[in-house]
């Protein structure tokens, strides 16, 4: 016997003898009947698995042909993206994810990143039936998408949405999806943590963390509790190898419900409560300066005039510490608690102002779209070509998180490889001025970029900073 092991054995024996028999009996429980030996999650899986689907997103992409980069060949064989050398110049990209049927009529919830950019979406059910699907709503801010199956008799299996607030750390959960495309797979684990707010995955960072094995292909699948209710949508893993390492993140069912309700109402965007204030995370240094002891809460940086926050009397410098009696540790936790409240009425928020505890009632209303978006994708020969821009309004400011802007037009998207992408323009940038011309509407910007110029002077706002740049034409 190994010498170290020989030394250890007597110590273990002594330790075991020192523990009274009743205590040992309480610590270790053996099965007391044949029924207990046969305990299984099979009934939960049998009830839920039929509602878990595979999501196939098909994207048509131009096939690169290096000879078409040469003007001589392009003259005879056409431009990139068109017919080249006698055949189609496209290729089809296929991505695979999972989804959950949440309504008898064939409504599916999945991740936005599973279907983003898709030209066609097909759904495969657990019983091998396949259907085309329509995208009802995509919400990049939560990384959720809602689809609707085409065809069928409208009597599909579906899973019940639970409440993520009913969860506790240590609860047993099941993850159901299609990892690596191997087919429907069930893994089991526990809730490792709740309210994870610094995962950096979506705008509303408030995730359920689990050690149930989640891998590529599980995205959009269900996290299920012991009663068979969907309490989260699996969306991401923390991994250094590309495989599961016991840290997976799921979007809570309470957030899923908000996006689903907007889709079922016919809206193409998610209608959620609007605060109208910029919030900041509390650091230890700020907590010490405010004399609040612990670095928890959301610090108000600024308030939009006329917004619900303004109407409630919220001020710059206030520290928000609770929503409807539930404590919030940071701006992400506040965002989740606030936007998952139903529209209509008001909600009470707890505030610390100069050492005093206050309660303020914030109206629960959606941000209004006071100005038509008038979306335009800029073309021509300017550095802004390839940028899609929209007019500012409270709704757009909320979506794009540009609450510090009160004029200009905001970039909603930038085409990959475009001149706008080359100069590092980003969604959320607000264009204020081009070549000395103030920009108030998308039409103003379209006109300002149609006139050729040898030099372009562009002023924009990004993250509260005003930036000016001089670029060649």
Give me the residue label for tokens 């759904």. 123
Pick the residue with more confidence: 245 or 277?
277
Choice among 143, 332, 444, 446 that is catalytic:
143
* The two structure tokens encoding residue 357: 């505890």
Percentage above 90 pLDDT, the chain: 48
Q: Any catalytic annotation for residue 219?
A: yes
Indicate the Cα dihedral angle 193, 199, 203, 208, nearest 10°.
-20
Looking at the domain assignment, is residue 416 inside a domain?
yes
Tell me the average pLDDT across 220-243.
Answer: 83
pLDDT the model gives residue 200: 57
Q: Any catalytic annotation for residue 113?
A: yes
pLDDT the model gives residue 112: 93
pLDDT the model gives residue 263: 94
pLDDT the model gives residue 199: 58
DSSP letter string over 126-144? TTS-EEEEEEEEEETTTTE
* The two structure tokens encoding residue 347: 């909600």
Most confident of 81-90, 136-145, 194-203: 136-145
Same domain? 82 vs 170: no
Same domain? 358 vs 393: no
pLDDT the model gives residue 204: 65
Question: Is the CB of residue 345 less than 8 Å from the CB of residue 328?
Answer: no
Question: Is the CB of residue 265 less than 8 Å from the CB of residue 231?
Answer: no
Question: Is the CB of residue 61 less than 8 Å from the CB of residue 91?
Answer: yes
pLDDT the model gives residue 273: 94
Helix, strand, coil percent content, the chain, rounded in steps of 5:
25, 35, 40
Q: How confident is the model at residue 433 (pLDDT cuts 50, 70, 90)?
A: very high
Of 363, 390, 405, the residue that ends a domain is 363
pLDDT the model gives residue 247: 83
Same domain? 246 vs 302: no
Looking at the domain assignment, is residue 369 inside a domain?
no
Give me the residue label for tokens 């009274």. 20
Same domain? 56 vs 107: yes
Residue 78 pLDDT exceeds 50: no
Task: List, in sequence order, the alpha helices (H) in 146-238.
Answer: none
Same domain? 253 vs 286: no
Sign of the Cα torsion 304, 309, 312, 316 reads negative
The boundaries of the domain holding residue 53 are: 48-149
CATH number at residue 170: 2.40.10.10
What is d(CA 223, CA 244) in angstroms, rounded to the nearest whole number? 15
Same domain? 171 vs 259: yes
The model's pLDDT over 361-401, given as tens digits with 9 standing for 90+, comes to: 999 999 998 889 999 999 988 999 999 999 999 888 888 87
pLDDT the model gives residue 363: 96
CATH number at residue 465: 2.30.42.10
Task: List, in sequence order, the alpha helices (H) in 221-280.
Answer: 253-264
Question: To the nearest whole number, what is the mean pLDDT of the chain?
Answer: 83
Of 363, 384, 403, the residue that ends a domain is 363
Question: Is the CB of residue 235 less than 8 Å from the CB of residue 251?
Answer: yes
Task: List, in sequence order, the alpha helices (H) in 284-410.
Answer: 284-290, 308-312, 331-339, 394-400
Tell me the average pLDDT across 59-63.
Answer: 65
Same domain? 348 vs 412: no
Looking at the domain assignment, is residue 297 inside a domain?
yes
pLDDT the model gives residue 431: 95
Percentage above 70 pLDDT, the chain: 82
Give me the residue label for tokens 């701006």. 331
Cβ neighbours of 405 (radius 10 Å) = 20
What is d(CA 349, CA 361) in angstroms, rounded to the nearest whole number? 6
Same domain? 282 vs 351: yes
> How many separate domains does the chain show?
4
Residue 122 pLDDT exceeds 70: yes
pLDDT the model gives residue 268: 84
What is d(CA 104, CA 144) in angstroms, rounded to the nearest whole number? 19
Give me the residue label for tokens 């009913």. 166
Pick the residue with more confidence: 152 or 159?
159
Choice among 103, 113, 322, 446 that is catalytic:
113
Residue 5 pLDDT exceeds 50: no
Same domain? 291 vs 344: yes
Query: pTM, whole model, 2 decimals?
Result: 0.76
Looking at the domain assignment, is residue 221 inside a domain?
yes
The model's pLDDT over 264-278, given as tens digits with 9 standing for 90+, comes to: 999 888 889 999 998
Q: Any catalytic annotation for residue 155?
A: no
Q: How confident is the model at residue 203 (pLDDT cuts 50, 70, 90)?
A: low
The H or E element spanning position 434 is strand 430-434
Same domain? 61 vs 123: yes
The model's pLDDT over 404-414, given as tens digits with 9 standing for 90+, comes to: 777 889 999 99
Looking at the domain assignment, is residue 394 inside a domain?
yes
Looking at the domain assignment, is residue 403 inside a domain?
yes
pLDDT the model gives residue 290: 75
DSSP letter string over 313-341? T--TT-EEEEETTEE--SHHHHHHHHHTS
Strands 172-177, 144-149: pairing kind: unpaired
pLDDT the model gives residue 92: 60
Instruction: List, in sequence order, every residue forming a beta bridge with 278; answer none if it has no partner.
Output: 302
Residue 52 pLDDT exceeds 60: yes
Looking at the domain assignment, is residue 21 inside a domain?
no
What is d(CA 30, CA 8) in angstroms, rounded to the nearest whole number? 26
pLDDT the model gives residue 47: 92
pLDDT the model gives residue 184: 87
What is d(CA 297, CA 268) in angstroms, rounded to the nearest whole number? 32
Same domain? 341 vs 304: yes
The model's pLDDT over 16-27, given as tens digits with 9 standing for 90+, comes to: 334 454 443 445
Looking at the domain assignment, is residue 79 inside a domain?
yes
Pick the residue with more confidence: 7 or 54?
54
- Closest to 58 (Cα-Cα) out of 111, 116, 124, 125: 116
pLDDT the model gives residue 33: 78
Residue 122, helix vs strand vs coil = strand
Tell me the average pLDDT across 430-459.
Answer: 93
pLDDT the model gives residue 312: 95
What is d(CA 223, CA 175) in angstroms, rounded to the nearest whole number? 5
Q: Among 284-288, 338-342, 452-456, which stretch is predicted with the lowest mean pLDDT?
A: 284-288
Choice among 192, 219, 244, 307 that is catalytic:
219
Give the side-chain half-sphere CA count within 13 A for 175.
Answer: 33
Residue 214 pLDDT exceeds 70: yes
pLDDT the model gives residue 28: 58
Of 238, 264, 290, the residue that ends a domain is 264
Same domain? 388 vs 426: yes
């Amino acid at each position: 016997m190994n010498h170290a092991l020989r030394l250890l054995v007597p110590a273990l024996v002594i330790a075991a003898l020192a523990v009274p028999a009743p205590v040992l009996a309480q610590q270790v429980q053996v099965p007391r009947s044949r029924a207990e030996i046969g305990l299984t999650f099979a009934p939960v899986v049998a009830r839920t698995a039929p509602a878990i689907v595979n999501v196939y997103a098909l994207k048509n992409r131009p096939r690169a042909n290096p000879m078409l980069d040469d003007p001589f060949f392009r003259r005879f064989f056409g431009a990139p993206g068109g017919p080249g050398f006698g055949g189609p110049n496209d290729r089809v990209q296929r991505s695979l994810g999972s989804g959950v049927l949440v309504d008898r009529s064939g409504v599916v919830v999945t991740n936005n990143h599973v279907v983003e950019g898709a030209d066609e979406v097909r759904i495969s059910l657990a019983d091998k039936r396949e259907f085309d699907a329509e995208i009802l709503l995509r919400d990049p801010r939560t990384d959720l998408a809602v689809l609707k199956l085409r065809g069928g008799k409208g009597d599909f299996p579906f899973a019940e949405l639970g409440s993520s607030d009913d969860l506790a750390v240590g609860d047993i959960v099941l993850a159901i999806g299609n990892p690596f495309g191997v087919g429907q797979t069930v893994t089991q684990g526990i809730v490792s943590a709740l309210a994870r707010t610094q995962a950096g995955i979506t705008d509303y960072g408030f995730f359920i963390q689990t050690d149930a094995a989640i891998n590529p292909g599980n995205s959009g699948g269900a996290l299920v509790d012991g009663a068979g209710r969907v309490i989260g949508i699996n969306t991401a893993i923390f991994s250094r190898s590309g495989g599961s390492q016991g840290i997976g993140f799921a979007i809570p069912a309470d957030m899923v419900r908000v996006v689903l309700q907007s889709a079922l109402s016919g809206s193409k965007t998610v209608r959620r409560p609007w605060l109208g204030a910029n919030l900041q995370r509390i650091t230890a240094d700020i907590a010490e300066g405010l004399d609040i002891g612990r670095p928890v809460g959301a610090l108000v940086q600024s308030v939009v005039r006329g917004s619900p926050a303004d109407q409630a009397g919220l001020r710059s410098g206030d520290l928000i510490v609770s929503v409807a009696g539930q404590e919030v540790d940071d701006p992400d936790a506040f965002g989740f608690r606030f936007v998952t409240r139903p529209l209509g009425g008001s909600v009470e928020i707890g505030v610390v102002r100069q050492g005093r505890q206050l309660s303020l009632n914030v109206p629960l209303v959606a941000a209004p779209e006071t100005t038509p978006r008038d979306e335009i994708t800029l073309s021509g020969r300017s550095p802004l070509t390839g940028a899609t821009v929209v007019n500012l309004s409270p709704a757009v400011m909320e979506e794009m998180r540009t609450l510090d802007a009160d004029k200009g037009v905001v970039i909603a998207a930038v085409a990959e490889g475009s001149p706008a992408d080359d100069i590092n323009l980003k969604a959320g940038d607000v264009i204020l001025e081009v070549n000395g011309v103030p920009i108030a509407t998308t039409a103003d910007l379209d006109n300002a970029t149609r006139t050729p110029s040898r030099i372009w002077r562009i002023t924009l706002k990004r993250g509260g900073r005003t930036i000016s740049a001089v670029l060649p034409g």
